[in-house]
Structure 1
C-alpha cells in the first residue's frame, strides 16, 4: 500500500512506522532533517519525507492516509500561544488533507485521523461511548471536537473516515510514562 502519514515522529507515529515496513510511506513532517535524525535508528523501510502538502493537487497516489499530526499536548504549559499551536497543528493539516481528498478523482479509500479521549471531557462516574452527547467548554474537548468535525468532511462513498480517539499513551521511551 502507498500511505501518507502525518505525525510520524511522535510517540505513536514512531511505533506505527515499525509496522509499516512493507508499505511505501510518505511522511509529512515540519522538519525533514530532524525527522530523519529521530527515525534513523530503526530500519523503517521505504519512507519519502515531505515538509508540505502544497506541492500536491490531489491525493490520488495514496491508498490510505493516517493523520497523527499535532503539537504534543502535555509538553508545555497551556498559555494562549501554546493552545493556538495545539489547535493549528491539528486543524490546519487536517483541513488541507480534506481539501486534497475532495480534489482527488481516485481518493484514498481510508482516512484515519487522530483525536483523543479528551473529547469526552470529565464525565465523573457516567458511562460513555460514541453516542454520548458531550457539551463541554473545556479546551481538550474543543480541540478534539473540531479536529473530528474537520476530518469527517472527507467521508464519502469513496473514502471511509476513521477517528482514532487515543487515551493516555504509555510506553518505553516516551508517552506519559516519561512524564
Structure 2
C-alpha cells in the first residue's frame, strides 16, 4: 500500500507499507524540512497513541527510511490487521493539526455500522464483529475489508474464496 506523508499541513512525500509474514516492511521518501536543524520522526495516526515508524535520515536531498516493524510492535499499536489511518512527520512534540484535504489511507472501523448490519448468514455476521474487519454499507449491501498478508491468518479467511485482494487489503463485496 502506498500512502501520503504529511508535514506542516502539506503533503511531504510517501510511504510504502508492505505486509509480510513477520510484520510490515516500511519505506519512506519525503522532502527535507524547511528548517534542516529539526529532527523529524515519522508517525502513524492510530485510534490510540501514535505509532512511531522511525527516524528518517537525509539522503541525496531527501528524507528516507527503510525498516521493518514486527507483528508485536503493530499489535501493541493496534495496527496488526490494518495500517494507521495516516502518516505524518513531527519533531515529537505533538502530532500536526489536521488540515482540510488530508486523506486517510484506510478508513477507521465504524462500530455503529458494524452493530447495525446483519446479513442473516451466521459466518458473515460473526465476521462483522471481528477485530480488524472494516465495514462500509452500500446501497445494495456492504463491503467488508481487512489487512491481508500471504501465509498469515487474517480476519476474512473463512470467506477468502469470495474476496478480492489488492495492495495488501482483502475485500468482500456482499449484495443483499
Larger radius of gyration: 2
Structure with more strand by fraction:
2
TM-score, structure 1 as length reference: 0.28
Structure with more helix by fraction:
1
TM-score, structure 2 as length reference: 0.28
